[in-house]
Amino acid sequence: MHTILIIDDEEKLRTLMARIIRLEGYEVLEAATCKAALKKLEQTEADVILCDVKLPDGNGVELIKEIKTLYPRVEIILLTAYGNIPDGVQAMKNGAFDYLTKGNDNEKIVPLINRALEKVQLEKRIEKLEQQVGKRYGFDSILGSSPLIQEAIAFAKKVAPTNASVLLLGETGTGKEVFAQAIHNGSLRAGKPFMALNCSAFGKELLESEIFGHKSGAFTGALKDKKGLIEEANTGTLFLDEIGEMHIDLQAKLLRVLETGEFIKVGDTKPTKVDVRIIAATNRDLQDEVKTGRFREDLFYRINVFTILLPSLRDRKKDIPDLANSFIKLFAQKSNKRIDGMSKDFSSHLQNHVWKGNIRELKNVIERAVILAEGSQLTSDSLPVELQINDTQQQSGMSAFELSGVEKLHIQRVLNHTKGNKTEAARLLNIGLTTLYRKIEEYKIF
């Protein structure tokens, strides 16, 4: 239920307004003085306030300013006497939602309160969304307690509040975009645009248009003006993933943005000014790229103001269970499945895997496993066959291509399916029970 506070020393008028508002289903609080009103607000949160101009211990216009400072989300409607419109104007400047003429506008009270409440609800929704976005894309969203990832997070937190360019180094799938978003949301640019682009996904001409935009008629197919991502990110952050793939001609154009804050669109003659922070990422060794002439040395030093190395998943295996459980929760919710966790065997496979695709590969494996899951826990049956074969090979020295490796894995999966019932497993495998025992001994299946 929404709460309305009426501040007015005229008891009859205050009682009348309270009765009108209560009939609409709202809870109503009453106060006759500034002091009493502030006391009420300390005790109970109000959504909308109706406030008179002349109060025994102060001026309503000045009270509005004080209340908005203490409780910025509350909306205040000023009650003015006839001929006192200037008070209403000043109140609006002090943060009032609107003003009413006392006595003559009683029929307007409820509609105006409803509009004020709509604004309060909208602002609450926006605040909630901002909190969710901040949580989802902030540093709290980066899971891991291993020293390497904690060190990377600590560096990122230090550079976030600055405007310095950041270079994120690491293998594919180590979470470079997640770090870029966290740095953006931890900066003074939080709430401003965050634009991301993978430079390896476009050829030179198309990449230039995507980043810098173009004018109508600049080339065949350019039927209208187009803003590039660097302009869309104005006042915010532009994240350029795989910057090592950028053509050297475009590198010169990006360098100009970093040095002068301006660029020229394709087909234009006038420069466009922007205020944008650049966060770049690559899995290449840019110093080697500079030596071979594929990357500009001056651009390298401009984007290399602050470098953060993101560790591979195989260097932070301690974090695999936390990451896996987070993905299980995410995909179980999306699939409307009740999955409590993973079996020891499943977890063991995750720990033993090399994870060349890092966190991205782990995420994909968990998503697949959740889709295939039939019980409340993920089991090794739901892992990709190649992952199980490779892990079996690592543990036993078998080649992933050997028939014996495939046979061992298949027997293990059938035994998992029968929950260790060897008679049922032999029947499903269409072999004798003695043969099954021999193979269990041979392959050391436990």
pLDDT for 324-338, tens place per residue?
999 999 899 888 889
303 pLDDT above the threshold of 50: yes
Q: 341-375 b/e with 16+ CB inside 10 Å = b?
A: ebbebbbebbeebebebbbebbbebbbebbeebee
4: helix, strand or coil: strand
Rounded Cα–Cα distance for residues 294 and 211 (Å) = 19
pLDDT for 350-392, tens place per residue?
988 889 899 999 999 999 999 988 888 998 888 887 676 655 4
Please, are residues 174 and 312 in contact by the beta-carbon 8 Å criterion?
A: yes
Paired tokens of 19 = 């009765």
Q: Report the range of poorest mean pLDDT among 11-15, 109-113, 127-131.
A: 127-131
Terminal C-alpha separation, the chain: 61
pLDDT for 269-290, tens place per residue?
899 999 999 999 999 889 999 9
Please, are residues 337 and 292 in contact by the beta-carbon 8 Å criterion?
A: no
Rounded Cα–Cα distance for residues 127 and 123 (Å) = 6
pLDDT of 134 reads 47
308: helix, strand or coil: strand
Please, are residues 64 and 16 in contact by the beta-carbon 8 Å criterion?
A: no
Phi and psi dihedrals of 76, rounded to 5?
A: -120, 130
Side by side, the strands of the sheet bearing 75-80 are 27-31, 3-7, 48-52, 75-80, 98-101
| Max CA separation in the chain (angstroms) | 104
Paired tokens of 175 = 């979470």
Please, are residues 213 and 199 in contact by the beta-carbon 8 Å criterion?
A: no
Rounded Cα–Cα distance for residues 406 and 398 (Å) = 10
Rounded Cα–Cα distance for residues 164 and 166 (Å) = 6
Paired tokens of 188 = 């003074």
96 pLDDT above the threshold of 90: no
29 pLDDT above the threshold of 60: yes
| Interval 297-303 mean pLDDT | 94
Alpha helices in 341-421 (DSSP H): 344-352, 358-372, 385-396, 403-417
Rounded Cα–Cα distance for residues 51 and 61 (Å) = 9
Rounded Cα–Cα distance for residues 417 and 413 (Å) = 6
Which of the four pLDDT bands, split at 50, 70 and 90, describes residue 397? very low
293: helix, strand or coil: coil
| Interval 28-56 mean pLDDT | 91
Q: Angle at CA 40, nearest 5°, toward 38 and 44?
A: 120
Rounded Cα–Cα distance for residues 229 and 221 (Å) = 19
Please, are residues 235 and 189 in contact by the beta-carbon 8 Å criterion?
A: yes
230 pLDDT above the threshold of 90: yes
pLDDT of 245 reads 93
pLDDT of 399 reads 45
pLDDT of 311 reads 93
Q: What percent of the chain has pLDDT over 90?
A: 46
pLDDT for 3-20, tens place per residue?
999 999 988 888 988 998
Which of the four pLDDT bands, split at 50, 70 and 90, describes residue 203? confident
Which of the four pLDDT bands, split at 50, 70 and 90, describes residue 35? very high
Phi and psi dihedrals of 326, rounded to 5?
A: -65, -45
Residues in contact with 64: Cβ distance below 8 Å, sequence separation at least 6, in sequence order: 51, 76, 78, 91, 94, 95, 96
Q: Which residue has the higher pLDDT, 208 or 134?
A: 208
pLDDT of 242 reads 94
pLDDT of 425 reads 85
57 pLDDT above the threshold of 80: yes
Rounded Cα–Cα distance for residues 115 and 111 (Å) = 6
Q: pTM of the predicted model, to two decimals?
A: 0.62
Paired tokens of 213 = 């935009």
- Kindly report the average pLDDT of the chain as a whole number: 86
Rounded Cα–Cα distance for residues 228 and 233 (Å) = 9
Residues in contact with 309: Cβ distance below 8 Å, sequence separation at least 6, in sequence order: 152, 169, 170
Is the Cα torsion angle 56, 60, 63, 67 positive or negative in sign? Answer: positive
Paired tokens of 306 = 């602050």
Which of the four pLDDT bands, split at 50, 70 and 90, describes residue 396? very low
Q: Report the range of poorest mean pLDDT among 95-99, 175-179, 391-395.
A: 391-395
Cα-to-chain-centroid distance, residue 162: 20
